Structure 1
Amino acid sequence: KDRVDDALNATRAAVEEGIVAGGGTALLRAANALAIKGSNPDQEAGINIVRRALQAPARQIAT
Structure 2
Amino acid sequence: KDRVDDALNATRAAVEEGIVAGGGTALLRAANALTVKGSNPDQEAGINIVRRALQAPARQIAT
Q: TM-score range by the shorter chain?
A: 0.7 to 0.9
Match of 2:26 in 1: 26
TM-score, normalising length from structure 1? Answer: 0.73
For 2:43 and 2:18, how far apart are their aligned partners in 1? Answer: 32
Q: Which moved more, 1:43-52 or 1:15-24?
A: 15-24
Gaps of 5+ in 2: none
For 1:58 and 1:37, how far apart are their aligned partners in 2? Answer: 23
- Residue 39 of structure 2 corresponds to residue 39 of structure 1: yes
Classify 1:24/1:45 alpha carbon distance in 2 versus 1 (closer, same or farther; 3 Å).
Answer: same
TM-score, normalising length from structure 2? Answer: 0.73
- Answer whether contact 1:31 1:54 (CA < 8 A) is retained: yes
- Answer whether contact 1:30 1:54 (CA < 8 A) is retained: yes
For 1:28 and 1:56, how far apart are their aligned partners in 2? Answer: 8
- CA shift, 1:26, in A, is 1.8
CA RMSD of aligned residues (A): 2.1
Gaps of 5+ in 1: none
User: Number of paired residues?
Assistant: 63
